[in-house]
Amino acid sequence: MNGRRRTLFILGLLVLAIAAPIGQGNYIIYVLTSWLVFAIAAMGLNLTLGYAGQISLAQASFMAIGAYVTSLLTLAGWHWILTLPLALIACFVVGLLLGYPALRVKGHFLAFVTLAFNTLVFLVLRNEDWLTGGSYGLVGMPRPDFGLFSTMKQLHFYYFTLGVTVLAALAMWGIVRSPWGRAFKALRENPIRAESLGVDTRRITLLAFAIGSAFGGLAGTLIAPLVQFIEPGSFGLAHSLRILLMVVVGGSGYFFGPFLGAAVVILLPEVLRFTEGYYLIIYSALVIVMLVFVPSGLIGVWGRLREKFWPRHQVRADMKEGAGLK
């Protein structure tokens, strides 16, 4: 996709996102907002897993850290905008520390380490009820008010979340297009070769976890005022697996994969509700079919179709330079 087509595609998606909630009820707007929030969390995991090749089953725990930091401070009278940097810094630092085991273990061993961390966060949130409210959770978090623009209404909060999502996507686009992004991809493809080419694989591995965790924390800062109630069960292993499913279904390592994957996981069950009691069965069957027949994710389907119907004609470099005419 060339630059002009990509720009038109992005503008089309943005216009669609702006128009989607117009005329809809509060529940549909809430579901659309949830899609944006989880797309941000999936973007972070996509950086860690899809671009850097470091598996993590702890993304929901970073949503929890962001959500609880935001909730505790906003309930104490802080404005949301002041809690945001503190939540992001906390998730960045904890993600940096979680990245250290990735320097020693890989593959399913690393998955077990991150799984243990997710369980640890869940237990701390449940047992330290003097701070977190325990199993009863925290309730009544205020939505941010910016004077001329209040997010108390569901539609207003949706557009606020959309704005944050656009900024987060621009930041992620800059990261993956930067030298860091190329280093992440080199780490994923072949760590030994990347190190031989001068890539500091130790630093890049830690950054992959830290930045991806910060995006999870950003999603947490939005989920708290969205639902205005959080409890430890909202950030258990099942939710980390759910975010992982978004990345895999959408297309691991593709920039727009998290948005499409989050749409499938969040929006598709709502679309299938007309089937009444069968919608979860149909949804599960569709996900299994996608994972079996489209292992590269839904974004990868477009690439396969393009190569089949509009193959690129490659020209040898020496012929392109005119070497064949000499």
Q: What is the pLDDT of residue 313?
A: 56
Average pLDDT over every residue of 49-53: 91
Closest CA to 212 of 258, 251, 144, 179: 258
Encode pLDDT of 87-138 as tens digits: 999 999 999 999 888 888 887 888 899 999 999 999 999 999 999 999 899 9
DSSP 214-243: HHHHHHHHHHHHHHSEE-GGGGSHHHHHHH
Give the pTM.
0.90
- The proportion of the chain whose per-residue pLDDT surpasses 70, expressed as a percent, equals 91
Higher-pLDDT residue of 1 and 72 is 72
Q: What is the CB neighbour count within 10 angstroms for residue 161? A: 24
DSSP secondary structure of 88-128:
HHHHHHHHHHHTGGGGT--HHHHHHHHHHHHHHHHHHHHH-
> 150 in helix, strand or coil?
strand
Residue 17 predicted with pLDDT over 70: yes
Q: How far apart are CA 81 and CA 78, in angstroms?
A: 8
Considering only CA atoms, which of 100, 132, 117, 111 is closest in space to residue 60? 117
**What's the confidence (pLDDT) of residue 272?**
85
The single-letter DSSP state of residue 143 is P
pLDDT digits (tens, 9 = 90+) for 185-200: 998 888 888 888 888 8
Q: pLDDT digit string (tens) for 230-273?
A: 999 989 999 999 999 999 988 888 999 999 999 989 988 888 88
